[in-house]
Chains A and B, each alone.
Chain A
Amino acid sequence: MTVRVQEGDFDVGAELDRLTKGNKRIGGLAVFVGLVREMHVREGLHRDRIDALTLEHYPGMTEKALVDIEAEANRRWPLEATLIVHRYGRMEAGDRIVLVAVGSPHREAAFEACEFLVDWLKTKAPFWKLEETPAGDKWVGAHDGDDAAAARWEKKSQ
Protein backbone atom coordinates (compact mmCIF):
# COMPACT_ATOMS: atom_id res chain seq x y z
CA MET A 1 0.00 0.00 0.00
CA THR A 2 1.56 3.23 -1.15
CA VAL A 3 0.22 6.76 -1.39
CA ARG A 4 2.20 9.70 -2.73
CA VAL A 5 1.31 13.33 -3.33
CA GLN A 6 3.88 15.17 -5.41
CA GLU A 7 4.36 18.18 -7.67
CA GLY A 8 6.46 16.41 -10.31
CA ASP A 9 5.50 13.95 -13.01
CA PHE A 10 5.72 10.17 -12.55
CA ASP A 11 6.99 7.36 -14.78
CA VAL A 12 4.14 4.86 -15.15
CA GLY A 13 6.36 1.95 -16.24
CA ALA A 14 8.83 2.43 -13.40
CA GLU A 15 6.01 2.80 -10.84
CA LEU A 16 4.34 -0.44 -11.97
CA ASP A 17 7.63 -2.35 -12.01
CA ARG A 18 8.33 -1.24 -8.43
CA LEU A 19 4.79 -2.12 -7.32
CA THR A 20 4.79 -5.71 -8.57
CA LYS A 21 8.45 -6.57 -8.11
CA GLY A 22 8.92 -9.75 -6.08
CA ASN A 23 5.18 -10.42 -5.64
CA LYS A 24 4.29 -13.50 -7.69
CA ARG A 25 0.77 -13.77 -6.25
CA ILE A 26 -0.39 -10.89 -8.50
CA GLY A 27 -2.22 -12.25 -11.54
CA GLY A 28 -3.75 -8.99 -12.73
CA LEU A 29 -2.78 -5.35 -12.50
CA ALA A 30 -5.44 -2.72 -13.27
CA VAL A 31 -4.11 0.77 -13.95
CA PHE A 32 -5.78 4.15 -14.32
CA VAL A 33 -3.85 7.19 -15.49
CA GLY A 34 -5.71 10.50 -15.36
CA LEU A 35 -4.62 13.23 -17.78
CA VAL A 36 -5.33 16.96 -17.93
CA ARG A 37 -7.91 17.24 -20.68
CA GLU A 38 -8.10 20.15 -23.09
CA MET A 39 -11.45 21.81 -22.45
CA HIS A 40 -13.59 24.54 -23.94
CA VAL A 41 -15.60 27.06 -21.98
CA ARG A 42 -18.26 29.45 -23.18
CA GLU A 43 -17.74 33.08 -22.22
CA GLY A 44 -20.71 34.86 -23.78
CA LEU A 45 -20.41 34.40 -27.54
CA HIS A 46 -16.85 33.17 -27.37
CA ARG A 47 -15.61 29.66 -26.89
CA ASP A 48 -12.25 29.66 -25.18
CA ARG A 49 -9.84 26.85 -24.74
CA ILE A 50 -8.45 25.97 -21.33
CA ASP A 51 -5.09 24.38 -21.62
CA ALA A 52 -3.70 24.60 -18.12
CA LEU A 53 -4.87 24.25 -14.56
CA THR A 54 -3.47 24.47 -11.07
CA LEU A 55 -4.43 21.81 -8.59
CA GLU A 56 -4.46 23.02 -4.99
CA HIS A 57 -4.55 20.52 -2.15
CA TYR A 58 -4.51 20.36 1.64
CA PRO A 59 -1.08 19.00 2.61
CA GLY A 60 -1.44 16.52 5.46
CA MET A 61 -5.16 15.92 5.01
CA THR A 62 -4.66 14.79 1.40
CA GLU A 63 -2.29 12.00 2.40
CA LYS A 64 -4.59 10.89 5.26
CA ALA A 65 -7.62 10.83 2.95
CA LEU A 66 -5.81 8.79 0.29
CA VAL A 67 -4.52 6.31 2.91
CA ASP A 68 -8.11 5.91 4.20
CA ILE A 69 -9.47 5.32 0.68
CA GLU A 70 -6.74 2.81 -0.07
CA ALA A 71 -7.41 0.98 3.22
CA GLU A 72 -11.11 0.80 2.35
CA ALA A 73 -10.29 -0.81 -1.03
CA ASN A 74 -8.13 -3.37 0.78
CA ARG A 75 -11.00 -4.16 3.13
CA ARG A 76 -13.40 -4.76 0.25
CA TRP A 77 -11.24 -6.74 -2.16
CA PRO A 78 -8.41 -9.28 -1.80
CA LEU A 79 -5.58 -7.08 -3.08
CA GLU A 80 -1.86 -7.75 -3.23
CA ALA A 81 -0.68 -4.26 -4.15
CA THR A 82 -2.14 -0.75 -4.35
CA LEU A 83 -0.62 2.52 -5.46
CA ILE A 84 -1.99 6.05 -5.65
CA VAL A 85 0.24 8.85 -6.98
CA HIS A 86 -1.50 12.23 -7.21
CA ARG A 87 0.09 15.42 -8.49
CA TYR A 88 -0.62 18.99 -7.44
CA GLY A 89 0.46 22.37 -8.81
CA ARG A 90 0.31 23.67 -12.38
CA MET A 91 -0.28 21.20 -15.20
CA GLU A 92 -0.96 21.59 -18.89
CA ALA A 93 -3.31 19.69 -21.20
CA GLY A 94 -1.91 16.23 -21.87
CA ASP A 95 0.02 16.07 -18.59
CA ARG A 96 -0.44 13.11 -16.27
CA ILE A 97 -2.29 14.11 -13.08
CA VAL A 98 -3.02 10.86 -11.20
CA LEU A 99 -1.97 7.20 -11.24
CA VAL A 100 -3.97 4.44 -9.57
CA ALA A 101 -2.74 0.86 -9.82
CA VAL A 102 -4.21 -2.24 -8.19
CA GLY A 103 -2.73 -5.74 -8.22
CA SER A 104 -4.74 -8.82 -7.26
CA PRO A 105 -4.57 -12.57 -7.89
CA HIS A 106 -7.61 -12.17 -10.19
CA ARG A 107 -8.63 -9.46 -12.62
CA GLU A 108 -12.19 -8.87 -11.36
CA ALA A 109 -10.99 -7.55 -7.99
CA ALA A 110 -8.27 -5.48 -9.65
CA PHE A 111 -10.68 -3.81 -12.12
CA GLU A 112 -13.34 -3.14 -9.49
CA ALA A 113 -10.97 -1.84 -6.82
CA CYS A 114 -9.23 0.44 -9.34
CA GLU A 115 -12.54 1.98 -10.39
CA PHE A 116 -13.58 2.34 -6.76
CA LEU A 117 -10.33 4.14 -5.88
CA VAL A 118 -10.68 6.63 -8.75
CA ASP A 119 -14.35 7.34 -7.94
CA TRP A 120 -13.67 7.85 -4.25
CA LEU A 121 -10.55 9.95 -4.58
CA LYS A 122 -12.43 12.38 -6.82
CA THR A 123 -14.99 13.09 -4.11
CA LYS A 124 -13.12 12.36 -0.83
CA ALA A 125 -9.60 13.72 -1.32
CA PRO A 126 -9.07 17.48 -0.78
CA PHE A 127 -8.06 18.71 -4.24
CA TRP A 128 -9.39 21.78 -6.04
CA LYS A 129 -8.93 22.64 -9.71
CA LEU A 130 -8.22 26.21 -10.78
CA GLU A 131 -8.55 26.57 -14.56
CA GLU A 132 -6.67 29.17 -16.54
CA THR A 133 -9.04 30.86 -18.98
CA PRO A 134 -8.43 33.89 -21.22
CA ALA A 135 -10.84 35.80 -18.92
CA GLY A 136 -8.80 34.89 -15.83
CA ASP A 137 -8.47 32.02 -13.39
CA LYS A 138 -11.65 30.17 -12.49
CA TRP A 139 -12.33 27.61 -9.72
CA VAL A 140 -14.03 24.47 -11.01
CA GLY A 141 -17.37 23.50 -9.45
CA ALA A 142 -18.06 19.98 -8.20
CA HIS A 143 -19.57 17.53 -10.69
CA ASP A 144 -22.85 15.83 -9.84
CA GLY A 145 -21.65 12.93 -12.00
CA ASP A 146 -18.64 12.42 -9.74
CA ASP A 147 -20.86 12.29 -6.63
CA ALA A 148 -23.13 9.74 -8.34
CA ALA A 149 -20.13 7.62 -9.34
CA ALA A 150 -18.81 7.64 -5.76
CA ALA A 151 -22.28 6.93 -4.33
CA ARG A 152 -22.56 3.67 -6.31
CA TRP A 153 -19.92 2.22 -4.01
CA GLU A 154 -21.71 3.42 -0.86
CA LYS A 155 -24.61 1.12 -1.73
CA LYS A 156 -22.29 -1.84 -2.21
CA SER A 157 -20.65 -1.43 1.20
CA GLN A 158 -22.23 -3.65 3.82
Chain B
Amino acid sequence: MKVRYFAWMKRTVGMADEEVAPPAEVKTVGDLVVWLRGRSTGHAEALAEGAAFGAAVDQRTATFDVPIGGAREVAFFPPFTGG
Protein backbone atom coordinates (compact mmCIF):
# COMPACT_ATOMS: atom_id res chain seq x y z
CA MET B 1 0.00 0.00 0.00
CA LYS B 2 1.19 3.48 -0.83
CA VAL B 3 1.14 6.14 1.87
CA ARG B 4 1.34 9.78 0.78
CA TYR B 5 2.01 12.96 2.74
CA PHE B 6 1.18 16.53 1.75
CA ALA B 7 2.15 20.12 2.62
CA TRP B 8 4.07 20.46 5.92
CA MET B 9 3.57 16.78 6.75
CA LYS B 10 5.74 15.86 3.76
CA ARG B 11 8.59 17.92 5.23
CA THR B 12 8.15 16.58 8.74
CA VAL B 13 8.03 12.95 7.65
CA GLY B 14 10.87 13.61 5.22
CA MET B 15 9.27 12.07 2.14
CA ALA B 16 6.29 12.56 -0.18
CA ASP B 17 5.27 8.90 -0.27
CA GLU B 18 6.34 5.39 0.68
CA GLU B 19 5.32 1.79 0.09
CA VAL B 20 4.37 0.04 3.32
CA ALA B 21 3.13 -3.42 4.28
CA PRO B 22 1.50 -3.10 7.70
CA PRO B 23 0.67 -6.29 9.66
CA ALA B 24 -2.85 -7.77 9.50
CA GLU B 25 -3.94 -6.22 12.81
CA VAL B 26 -3.65 -2.75 11.23
CA LYS B 27 -7.25 -2.58 10.01
CA THR B 28 -8.30 1.11 9.98
CA VAL B 29 -6.87 4.54 9.18
CA GLY B 30 -6.47 5.09 12.93
CA ASP B 31 -4.55 1.80 13.31
CA LEU B 32 -2.29 2.84 10.43
CA VAL B 33 -1.53 6.20 12.07
CA VAL B 34 -0.43 4.46 15.26
CA TRP B 35 1.66 1.93 13.31
CA LEU B 36 3.32 4.61 11.12
CA ARG B 37 4.39 6.59 14.21
CA GLY B 38 6.86 3.83 14.97
CA ARG B 39 8.71 4.20 11.66
CA SER B 40 10.73 7.34 12.47
CA THR B 41 10.79 10.43 14.69
CA GLY B 42 9.52 12.43 11.67
CA HIS B 43 6.51 10.12 11.35
CA ALA B 44 5.89 10.33 15.10
CA GLU B 45 5.95 14.14 14.98
CA ALA B 46 3.80 14.55 11.85
CA LEU B 47 1.20 12.00 12.97
CA ALA B 48 1.30 12.92 16.68
CA GLU B 49 -1.84 12.68 18.76
CA GLY B 50 -3.54 16.08 18.75
CA ALA B 51 -1.84 17.22 15.52
CA ALA B 52 -4.34 18.71 13.07
CA PHE B 53 -4.40 16.42 10.06
CA GLY B 54 -6.90 14.54 7.93
CA ALA B 55 -6.76 11.41 5.81
CA ALA B 56 -7.99 9.98 2.53
CA VAL B 57 -8.36 6.35 1.45
CA ASP B 58 -8.04 5.83 -2.30
CA GLN B 59 -8.42 9.59 -2.81
CA ARG B 60 -11.64 10.01 -0.81
CA THR B 61 -11.70 11.87 2.50
CA ALA B 62 -11.80 9.29 5.32
CA THR B 63 -12.28 9.36 9.08
CA PHE B 64 -9.99 7.31 11.33
CA ASP B 65 -12.51 4.47 11.67
CA VAL B 66 -12.50 3.75 7.91
CA PRO B 67 -11.07 0.30 7.05
CA ILE B 68 -7.94 0.19 4.91
CA GLY B 69 -8.18 -3.46 3.82
CA GLY B 70 -7.71 -3.58 0.04
CA ALA B 71 -6.81 0.13 -0.17
CA ARG B 72 -4.14 1.03 -2.71
CA GLU B 73 -3.39 4.50 -1.39
CA VAL B 74 -3.78 6.21 1.97
CA ALA B 75 -2.91 9.91 2.30
CA PHE B 76 -2.36 12.22 5.25
CA PHE B 77 -2.58 16.00 5.01
CA PRO B 78 -3.15 19.22 7.00
CA PRO B 79 -6.52 21.03 6.82
CA PHE B 80 -7.21 22.37 3.31
CA THR B 81 -6.38 26.03 2.60
CA GLY B 82 -7.26 26.43 -1.08
CA GLY B 83 -9.44 28.85 -2.99
Contact = CB atoms under 8 A, between A and B. Distances in A.
Given A58-B59, A61-B60, A139-B7, A127 B82 contact: yes
Given A56-B6, A126-B6, A139-B78, A118 B83 contact: yes
Contacts of A123: 80
B46 interface: no
B23 interface: no
B60 A128 contact: no
How many residues of A sit at the interface, in one of the four size bands? 20 to 34
How many residues of B sit at the interface, in one of the four size bands? 10 to 19
Interface in A37-57: 55-57
Residue of B8, B61, B79, B80 most packed against chain A (CB within 10 A):
B80
Interface of B: 4, 6-8, 52, 56, 59-61, 75, 77-83
Instruction: For the complex of A and B, list the 6 residue pairs with the smallest distance between their C-beta atoms, beginning with the closest.
Output: A127-B82, A142-B79, A128-B7, A122-B83, A61-B59, A139-B8
Interface of A: 34, 55-58, 60-61, 64-65, 86, 97-98, 118, 121-130, 139-143, 146
